[in-house]
């Protein structure tokens, strides 16, 4: 009898559980504004039930409520009009997707609508990908050029897509593409050798960037993270663009289950290099092809693939060069006649494959694998005969010759695989992941330089011929890295306002130096209810940079030769971040603006000192220094002109490193940086558009080559550059009024690059005469150039 009663109770409980489960339904989806921009921190309320949630990253939400034939859902957010939606949920499904669109509160000014702005409560900012269209560009890498105009970011070379972030070197910036960390060639110098970056601007949907204080899900770099997400086209789209510096073709198509994008790009800097002091035969050719395919056969499964092939070649035969430099009181002229050539080849291959399984609207598990391969060759034999004269009276100050030789070869293969899990529980968004990465790198390099001044070899020895510089490297690396992370993002609100708390920890292990590291990180964002025009944020955390191949390279002297050895005892560099930021939204002349500021302090330890020789970052291969970086950044963003975003940034910074008892500035010690990105439409028409980019940045410390960072007693002149582009819309068929014409837009453009024709200094060539007097001859960057371009969109 007791057993029958127990059986009856169990069956009854199962029936009740089943009934309760059937009476519940999970609503999920995405909230966007009228421009299809995701809206984060919007409140989602199911009326008469008390079910509540807030949108998270990408405007996504999910809420579980009682089933009904129709549900009334309210969506509200600061700066947006509150809107109610009626959702019909009479079916038997246990979950239902419902996307919502809300409209920003606007103030009408003539015919232009002034809209609210997205609020940033963490240290990762979202940047619109559309800024790269019709922008004057010297590198062809539009995303990186936009990043270089953000707070705390700077660049000193219009030929390079690399950037410095708050005192860090190029190597301290982490880049992700659809969740996979990507790499760049290792022998390449930041300048004319650079080709196209892996990021194809035509394929980008979201650009997330952090200049510090980023969460635990991002990898092991000390300065910044750039996270790129590619789009999923749901219809046919295509574009064709061309200019005097290259061309690109893009084709994308798809539907709700399948999408594919293909991009082919070609770039040449021959036209730009023709404006430098060195005359010769420039033949730089950079080409890449990229494919992104995504397939979702069911609502649970998604398969993603990215493939990229890049072939970069730089051939150069210099003829002669004349550089005028000095002061008004002491002008000089440097004349060189060359013989020889340089031939560089950089071939890279990248692929990634991912499988995502969505358990439900709140939870998903993703497996990601990637492979990166590079084969690099840098070879040159260039001989120069030079004369250094005073421009007054043609007094000869020095005469001599030099010979530069290099046979540098490197191959690298990096494989990685990872599992990542995401789920949402009430107001918590939890993310976890673990992965392993294998690195195999081989280098066989030989380079040397001989100088002869007035018939004497420098350095001079009566017994033997000596070289001013020589280096030999025959090394290999075979290492494995393990990484894992766990983070929780908790959103809540009370009478004080809206809070966004993010906390996480990252665990890594490197087999090369047997080092295991734990990196805790946390941030807090706050929107006060008393005045929702303000947003405050704070972040702190440990950021380790595990040494990659270039940091491992140490040098030893064997006789008169310098040999490269790899340091197995090297430790990861460490940076402890403290950041405090604020946004204030306001209206000026009836238009929306946002003023932002961030103050930061980075405590640096176990630093691997480095110097910059001929545009290449050269590490010391040992943990020899410690230091700090402190600064403050300002940004004014808004519609200076109705309907067009513009911004201006100002950064002030101080860096110090303690090396061998000396207090020295970091090689990236840029004390001030001013950037401007301004767009404008001609009054009364959207056919004419102007885009202006300007940079005014402090010069960096430098010294004679191969002399050590303690000899960086000089500072280069400030980098000043203005580029302006004018675009004319020849055809506007976005509303499909020409129904039989597949073309949506045709743009024609003209750019003036380096409007002020300023001779910015790239690096210096040092001349030494027999009296050991040294002269720093500037290597100037590109001069003024006009560029013509077109863009056809379908």
* Nearest-angstrom CA–CA distance, 725 and 48: 55
Q: Which residues contact 135 (CB under 8 A, 6 or more apart)?
A: 142, 145, 146, 691, 693, 725
pLDDT band at residue 772 using 50, 70 and 90 as cut-offs: low
What does DSSP say about strands 164-165 and 153-154: parallel, antiparallel, or unpaired? Answer: antiparallel
pLDDT of residue 464 exceeding 80 = no
How confident is the model at residue 213, as a pLDDT?
93
Tell me the two tokens of residue 759. 């001779």
- Render the burial of 748-768: b for 16+ CB within 10 Å, e for the rest: ebebbbbeeebbbbbbbbebb
pLDDT of residue 22 exceeding 60 = no
Average pLDDT over residues 536-543: 96
With beta carbons less than 8 A apart as the criterion, state whether 34 and 104 touch.
Answer: yes
How confident is the model at residue 20, as a pLDDT?
45
Provide the whole-model pTM.
Answer: 0.86
| Tens digit of each residue's pLDDT (9 = 90 or more) over 708-748 | 888 888 899 999 999 999 999 999 888 888 888 889 999 99
* Nearest-angstrom CA–CA distance, 122 and 488: 13
* Nearest-angstrom CA–CA distance, 581 and 587: 20
pLDDT of residue 112 exceeding 50 = no
CA 634, distance to chain mean position in Å, is 19
| Tens digit of each residue's pLDDT (9 = 90 or more) over 402-453 | 899 999 999 999 999 999 999 988 889 999 999 999 999 999 999 998 877 6
Average pLDDT over residues 278-284: 89
Q: Which residues contact 137 (CB under 8 A, 6 or more apart)?
A: 145
Average pLDDT, the chain: 87
What does DSSP say about strands 224-230 and 173-177: parallel, antiparallel, or unpaired? Answer: parallel
| Tens digit of each residue's pLDDT (9 = 90 or more) over 207-238 | 999 999 999 999 889 999 999 999 999 999 99
Tell me the two tokens of residue 100. 């919502």
| Tens digit of each residue's pLDDT (9 = 90 or more) over 152-179 | 999 888 988 889 999 999 899 999 999 9
Average pLDDT over residues 252-260: 94
pLDDT band at residue 134 using 50, 70 and 90 as cut-offs: confident
Q: Which residues contact 606 (CB under 8 A, 6 or more apart)?
A: 571, 572, 573, 574, 623, 626
With beta carbons less than 8 A apart as the criterion, state whether 645 and 638 touch.
Answer: yes
Ranges 63-67, 227-231, 280-284, most confident = 227-231
* Nearest-angstrom CA–CA distance, 286 and 687: 32
| Tens digit of each residue's pLDDT (9 = 90 or more) over 622-637 | 999 999 999 999 999 9
Closest by CA to 411, choosing from 379, 372, 375, 445, is 375
Closest by CA to 224, choosing from 180, 183, 163, is 163
Please state the φ and ψ torsions of residue 14, each to the nearest 5 degrees: -65, -40
List, in sequence order, every residue forming a beta bridge with 423; answer none if it has no partner.
430
Average pLDDT over residues 519-541: 93
| Tens digit of each residue's pLDDT (9 = 90 or more) over 579-590 | 999 999 998 877
Residue with tokens 């008393």: 530
What is the phi-psi region of residue 624: left when phi exceeds 0, alpha when psi lies from -120 to 50, beta otherwise?
alpha
Picking from 374-378, 633-637, 760-764, which range would have the lowest pLDDT averaged per residue? 760-764
With beta carbons less than 8 A apart as the criterion, state whether 511 and 480 touch.
Answer: yes
**Residue with more model confidence, 396 or 212:** 212
Dihedral angle of Cα 220, 226, 232, 237, to the nearest 10 degrees: -150
Task: Give the burial class of 425: count Cβ atoms within 10 A of its Cβ; 0-12 exposed, 13-18 middle, 19 or more buried.
Answer: exposed
Q: What sign has the CA pseudo-torsion 550, 556, 561, 563?
A: negative
pLDDT of residue 605 exceeding 50 = yes
How confident is the model at residue 255, as a pLDDT?
92
pLDDT of residue 18 exceeding 60 = no
């Amino acid at each position: 009898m007791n057993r029958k009663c127990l059986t009856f109770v169990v069956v009854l409980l199962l029936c009740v559980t089943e009934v309760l489960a059937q009476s519940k339904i999970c609503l999920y989806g995405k909230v966007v504004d009228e421009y299809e921009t995701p809206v984060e921190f919007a409140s989602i309320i199911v009326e008469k039930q008390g079910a509540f949630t807030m949108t998270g990253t990408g405007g996504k939400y999910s809420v579980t409520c009682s089933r009904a034939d129709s549900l009334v859902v309210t969506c509200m957010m600061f700066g947006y009009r509150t809107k109610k939606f009626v959702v019909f949920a009479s079916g038997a499904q246990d979950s239902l997707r419902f996307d919502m669109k809300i409209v920003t509160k606007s103030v009408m000014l003539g015919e232009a609508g002034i809209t609210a702005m997205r609020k940033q409560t963490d240290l990762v900012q979202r940047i619109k990908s559309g800024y790269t269209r019709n922008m004057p560009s010297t590198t062809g890498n539009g995303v990186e050029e936009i990043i270089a105009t953000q707070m705390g970011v700077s660049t000193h070379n219009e030929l390079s897509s690399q950037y410095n972030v708050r005192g860090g070197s190029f190597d301290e910036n982490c880049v992700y593409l659809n969740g996979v960390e990507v790499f760049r060639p290792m022998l390449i110098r930041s300048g004319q050798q650079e080709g196209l970056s892996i990021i194809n601007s035509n394929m980008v949907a979201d650009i997330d960037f952090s200049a510090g204080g980023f969460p635990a899900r991002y990898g092991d770099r000390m300065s910044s993270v750039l996270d790129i997400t590619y789009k999923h086209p749901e219809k046919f789209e295509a574009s064709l663009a061309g200019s005097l510096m290259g061309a690109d073709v893009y084709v994308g198509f798809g539907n709700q289950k399948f999408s594919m994008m293909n991009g082919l790009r070609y770039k040449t800097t021959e036209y730009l290099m023709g404006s430098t002091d060195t005359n010769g035969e420039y033949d730089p050719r950079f080409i890449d092809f990229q494919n992104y395919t995504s397939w979702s056969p069911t609502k649970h499964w998604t398969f993603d693939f990215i493939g990229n092939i890049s072939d970069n070649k730089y051939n150069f035969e210099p003829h002669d060069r004349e550089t005028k430099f000095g002061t008004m009181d002491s002008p000089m002229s440097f004349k060189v006649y060359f013989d020889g050539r340089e031939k560089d080849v950089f071939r890279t291959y990248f692929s990634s494959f991912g499988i995502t399984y969505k358990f439900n609207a709140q939870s998903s598990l993703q497996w990601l694998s990637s492979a990166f391969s590079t084969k690099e060759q840098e070879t040159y034999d260039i001989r120069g005969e030079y004369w250094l004269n005073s421009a007054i009276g043609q007094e000869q100050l020095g005469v001599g010759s030099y010979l530069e030789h290099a046979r540098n070869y490197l191959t690298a293969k990096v494989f990685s695989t990872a599992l990542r899990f995401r789920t949402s529980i009430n107001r918590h968004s939890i993310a976890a992941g673990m992965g392993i990465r294998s690195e195999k790198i081989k280098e066989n390099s030989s380079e040397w330089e001989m100088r002869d001044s007035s018939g004497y070899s420098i350095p001079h020895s009566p017994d033997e011929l000596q070289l001013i510089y020589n280096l030999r490297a025959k090394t290999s690396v075979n290492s494995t890295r393990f990484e894992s992370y766990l983070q929780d993002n908790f959103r809540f609100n009370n009478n004080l306002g809206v809070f966004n708390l993010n906390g996480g920890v990252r665990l890594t292990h490197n087999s090369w130096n047997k080092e295991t590291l734990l990196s805790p990180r946390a941030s807090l964002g706050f929107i006060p209810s008393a005045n929702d025009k303000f947003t405050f944020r704070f972040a702190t955390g440990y950021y380790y940079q595990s040494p990659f191949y270039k940091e491992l390279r140490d040098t030893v002297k064997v006789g008169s030769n310098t040999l490269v050895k790899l340091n197995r005892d090297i430790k990861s560099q460490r940076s402890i971040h403290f950041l405090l930021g604020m946004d204030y939204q306001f209206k000026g002349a009836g238009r929306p603006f946002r003023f932002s500021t961030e103050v930061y302090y980075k405590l640096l330890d176990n630093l691997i000192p480095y110097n910059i020789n001929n545009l290449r970052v050269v590490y010391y291969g040992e943990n020899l220094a410690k230091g700090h970086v402190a600064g403050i950044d300002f940004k004014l963003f808004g519609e200076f002109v109705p309907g067009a975003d513009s911004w201006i940034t100002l950064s002030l910074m101080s860096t110090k490193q303690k090396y061998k008892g000396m207090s020295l500035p970091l090689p990236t010690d840029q004390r001030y940086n001013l950037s401007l990105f301004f767009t404008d439409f001609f009054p009364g028409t959207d056919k004419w558009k102007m885009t202006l980019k300007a940079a005014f940045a402090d010069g960096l410390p430098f010294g004679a080559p191969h002399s050590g960072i303690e000899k960086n007693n000089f500072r280069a002149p400030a980098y000043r550059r203005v580029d302006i582009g004018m675009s004319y819309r020849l055809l506007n068929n976005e509303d499909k009024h020409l129904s039989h014409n597949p073309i949506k837009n045709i743009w024609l453009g003209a750019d003036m690059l380096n409007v002020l024709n300023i001779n910015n200094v790239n690096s210096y060539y040092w001349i030494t005469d027999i009296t050991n007097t040294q002269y720093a001859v500037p290597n100037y960057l590109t001069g003024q150039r006009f560029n013509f371009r077109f863009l056809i969109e379908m």
